[in-house]
Amino acid sequence: MLVAGTALAFSLTLDIDADLPLLCGSVAAELPLAAIHTSARLLLATNPPASLALAWLAMLLAMMTPLIALPLSHVRASSLAARQWRATAGFLLGYFGVWMCAGIPMLAAAFALRLLAGSVPATFLAASLLALVWSANPLHKAAQNRSHRLRRIGLFGLAADRDCIIFGAALGGWCLASCWAWMLVPLFAPTAHVAVMVAVASIVMAERLRGPGPPRWRVPVVLSPPLDWLRGLWIQGGRDGARAIV
């Protein structure tokens, strides 16, 4: 949590231009391909690739670090005391390496969603709806089940390093498969980016805390409290109506 909080504070200091013409502007007068080309050029002109990569890494550290506390503890507990920091580095390299490589496809998906939805508010709502549908999908639960699996870690030499990197990369891949839709949502909230990041991180953590289960359609965890409240009102109303009749 300390690392996540530090990364969140660090992300506030990054001078990243969020008002991209495609993600947060109007492209109604441009053709889609022309809009993509113009936005990509402006993106690289106002935000050097190194700055974008640093901002993406800070976002990942702030939102994903709480999810890997248990696997990281497993890696350290499975390693010799003299190798624990080396094992930690290998695991983090594999995990965040997968997420860093996913940055470009995620940005491309954000561009495509922006083009399809039109305005920024519509895109934010579309991204949120996509995340809710994905959270209810059996494929999401199947990927999340795999992210709960731990891996045997060797004790010595390059085999131990390999196991740590592979475990981190595998976990990063399954986390990416289960969280990709929610990670799109903060990209369309330039005026409340940090607040949306915190909210999305909380939702993803709540989904992880549900634990493994059978892959089937289910109510997304973010909708469970309001639905439970409405169900309680419905049941209470039925009981009150029955008492009135009696």
- For residue 48, what pLDDT band results from cuts at 50, 70 and 90? confident
pTM here? 0.83
Domain assignment present for 204: yes
What total number of domains does the chain contain? Answer: 1
Q: Which tokens belong to 163?
A: 């196991």
pLDDT in tens, 125-164: 999 999 999 999 999 999 999 999 999 999 998 999 999 9
Domain assignment present for 220: no
Largest Cα span, the chain: 77
Domain assignment present for 246: no
Query: How high is the pLDDT of residue 28?
Result: 41
Domain assignment present for 106: yes
Domain assignment present for 238: no
Over residues 189-215, the mean pLDDT reads 89
Over residues 71-99, the mean pLDDT reads 96
The C-alpha angle with vertex 117 and arms to 116 and 118, in degrees rounded to 5, equals 100
Domain assignment present for 109: yes
Query: How high is the pLDDT of residue 73?
Result: 95
Domain assignment present for 228: no
20: domain range? 2-215
Domain assignment present for 132: yes
